[in-house]
Amino acid sequence: MGAGVVGLTCAVRLAEAGHDTAVLARDLPPETTSAVAAALWYPYRAAPREAVTRWSRTAYDEFSRLATQCPEAGVRVVPGVELLPGAAGSPAPPLPWWQAAVPALTPVRDPRPGFAHGWRLDLPIADTSVYLGWLAGRLADAGGTVTRAWLPELPTTGVVVNCTGLAARALTGDVDLHPVRGQVVMVARPAADQVDRDDEWLLDQSDPQRPFYVVPRQHDVVIGGTAEDGVWDTHPDPATAAALLERAGALVPALRDAPVTGHRAGLRPARSEVRLESVAHPDGSPGGVVHCYGHGGAGVTLSWGCAQDVLEMVESLR
Ligand SMILES: Cc1cc2nc3c(=O)[nH]c(=O)nc-3n(C[C@H](O)[C@H](O)[C@H](O)COP(=O)(O)OP(=O)(O)OC[C@H]3O[C@@H](n4cnc5c(N)ncnc54)[C@H](O)[C@@H]3O)c2cc1C
């Protein structure tokens, strides 16, 4: 159940492992929360840390493979910087808790004014306007299907993988799962000679609960950074968009006056911990449900790692 990045990735893994796989989803890939994501690999608003680091690492490796071997997937591994606040000369920060998930990261030697420290690293970016469709195609190549269907409840027979994102709250009665609203603005990509090749993506961690980011994709640049806990509204707010554009122009002069190409807002499926577990059907009939939801601000980042665990759980149910 579910055709966001989590459901599609699980379905690809299952179908490629030889399982008969049918995705049923109320919203098809371009209509999902996953399509709103800036889709920068970064473990944000997702727990527990140990599992998130392991899942993220698996996904980092797979995205790196796609970037070099499947240009049509819309994935690139891109250099950039994470900027950390503080007064000049303040002590160096600890390494990020997810550091083991990336092959390398180095301190920024001379952070720009207003920032004390930073990390320079290469991160995968999936252009969701390309990548989700490519995933659906890869699923079809492996014999899987995607069908639009709204299921009022979880099926109670067979093997079910529940990748319904925030909708799992109503389907399972899980009140730990809640929305964290995020808004983004898309602008046209500046001319190649105006792009700083060493700092293609930028993450401003002045407020770690609400990082501000500039994420370049193939044809546009995603500017984002709002996070509103418990807010269910998916309409983009014009004042928020104006503030995002102003901040982006201050950080990246090439983006000042860049034509705006789109506005989106979406609801991150946040939970105290990602729920990835297998449960039996209520009447004990064969099969069961593997729940895989609550990926917060990191559904893309965790996708391939979680899909690997889902495959193992499905195989242990059969
Ligand atoms: C502004 C913003 C920026 C983000 N940036 C990033 C980022 O840079 N990197 C990153 O890793 N993550 C990012 N995220 C988070 C990421 O988008 C989510 O973690 C991810 O989309 C969750 O994917 P999902 O497949 O679980 O859910 P969804 O994409 O919401 O998909 C759920 C699917 O389940 C289906 N469904 C639900 N209920 C039913 C039902 N009853 N019957 C049938 N089908 C059903 C839906 O129709 C849909 O197909 C961002 C999110 C937002 C909002």
Please tell me the distance between residue 306's alpha carbon and the centre of ligand 1 in angstroms. Answer: 14
CA-closest candidate to residue 302, choices 269, 254, 253: 269
For residue 84, which amino acid is it? L
Q: Which residues contact 247 (CB under 8 A, 6 or more apart)?
A: 204, 212, 223, 225
**Virtual torsion, Cα 93, 214, 74, 103, nearest 10 deg:** -10
Say what the pTM is. Answer: 0.98
Query: Sign (positive/negative) of CA torsion 214, 235, 37, 305?
Result: positive
User: Is 164 close to ligand 1, i.e. is its CB under 6 Å away?
Assistant: yes
User: Is 182 close to ligand 1, i.e. is its CB under 6 Å away?
Assistant: yes
At 224, give phi and psi (nearest 5°).
-155, 180
User: Is 225 close to ligand 1, i.e. is its CB under 6 Å away?
Assistant: no
Polymer length of the chain: 318
With vertex at residue 73, the alpha carbon angle to CA 71 and CA 76, rounded to the nearest 5 degrees, is 65
Q: Evaluate if residue 192 carries a pLDDT over 80.
A: no
The domain spans of the chain are 5-317
Please tell me the distance between residue 316's alpha carbon and the centre of ligand 1 in angstroms. Answer: 26
**Virtual torsion, Cα 127, 130, 136, 141, nearest 10 deg:** -120
Please tell me the distance between residue 225's alpha carbon and the centre of ligand 1 in angstroms. Answer: 17
pLDDT digits (tens, 9 = 90+) for 40-89: 999 999 999 999 999 999 999 999 999 999 999 999 999 999 999 887 77
CA-closest candidate to residue 175, choices 184, 185, 166: 166
Beta pairing partners, 118: 83
For residue 285, which amino acid is it? S
pLDDT digits (tens, 9 = 90+) for 3-50: 999 999 999 999 999 999 999 999 999 999 999 999 999 999 999 999
Q: Evaluate if residue 260 carries a pLDDT over 90.
A: yes
Q: How confident is the model at residue 318 (pLDDT cuts 50, 70, 90)?
A: confident
Write down the pLDDT at residue 46: 97
Is the domain spanning 5-317 CATH 3.30.9.10? The answer is yes
For residue 186, which amino acid is it? M
User: Is 4 close to ligand 1, i.e. is its CB under 6 Å away?
Assistant: yes
Give the least confident one: 190-194, 237-241, 298-302.
190-194
CA-closest candidate to residue 293, choices 181, 174, 132: 174
Q: Which of 27, 63, 267 has most ligand 1 atoms within 8 Å of its beta carbon, as the pocket-test mutant? A: 27
pLDDT digits (tens, 9 = 90+) for 101-126: 999 999 998 888 889 999 999 999 99
CA-closest candidate to residue 46, choices 136, 137, 180: 180
Structure tokens at 11: 């379905």
Q: Evaluate if residue 153 carries a pLDDT over 90.
A: yes
Give the Cβ contact number of residue 58 at 10 Å. Answer: 18
